[in-house]
Amino acid sequence: MRVMRYEDAVESLFQAPLEQFVAERKRLAGELKAAGDKDGAARLAKLARPPISAWVVDQLWWRARRAFDALFETAERMRRGDLAATTAHREAIANLRAQAVQILSDAQHGATETTLRRVTQTLSALAATGGWDPDAPGALSADRDPPGFEAVGISNVLQFPVQPRTEPAPETRGARDAEAAPARDSRDGDELKRRRDLEAAAARAEAAAAQRRIEAERARAAAERHRIAAALRTAQGDVAQRQREVVKLERDLAHARDQVAQAQAVVMDLEERLAQLDN
């Protein structure tokens, strides 16, 4: 029998249903202690039960690894300055967000906007840093807050055209700069808000599209189940009909055999009488 290791216990613990986390932590700590790993048992016992949003991110790691790989891969491309990866990165987050809705629904938890927003923030934080440190992969006990793009090398995610301007004369530049500073700050703030609004709208649209794809796939699966169930019922009816025919044929065969036996008895009796007459 395989001996329980601390890493195995962590993986098992963070894949457990959220409502069973505390009981599972106690059970696994007991197994580690029984295996002689008292330090591991003590470390495991200190792992906090995650909030629902962090728990969902953990489940995404265990259940949607390809989508997570796409998240990290597109983030790495953005860090290298590949602006073409921006759309793919948003699609990866939207895909994971849609799957988070499904996981919450399957576990009979509410997929509230607050929870999903925290899930998205944590996914963005993991993508920005490129990993799970200091936690083990799929073993978050708390939500993560993403750092600014510049802090991790993801800058200038969206490009907007900049209107050329005429450079003022040196003698008037200082005065004009002083006059223009408040207006420029206001424009920068408006531009930043516009960018954020566009990004939020794009994320919502992509999440909705991913959800529609999931619902369409469910509908196709339901239709296929209905078709197969109908075919199964037809086949079962056909089998029952054939069985009834077999029973009737067996009954007819038995009757025919009885008639053959009776006819053979008559033949034998007549043959004996004929033999007696010859003698």
Segment 195-251, tens digit of pLDDT: 666 656 655 655 665 566 556 556 555 555 545 554 555 456 555 566 666 667 777
- Predicted local confidence at residue 161, as pLDDT: 34
**Tokens (6 digits) for 279:** 């003698």
- Predicted local confidence at residue 153, as pLDDT: 44
Give first-to-last CA distance, the chain, whole Å: 89
Integer angstrom CA distances of residue 206 from 74, 193, 247, 270: 16, 20, 61, 95
Integer angstrom CA distances of residue 77 from 31, 32, 144: 42, 41, 21
Q: How confident is the model at residue 263 (pLDDT cuts 50, 70, 90)?
A: confident
Between these two residues, 162 and 15, which has the higher pLDDT value?
15
User: Strand, helix or coil at 275?
Assistant: helix
pTM for the model stands at 0.54
Contact between 226 and 218 under an 8 Å Cβ cutoff? The reply is no
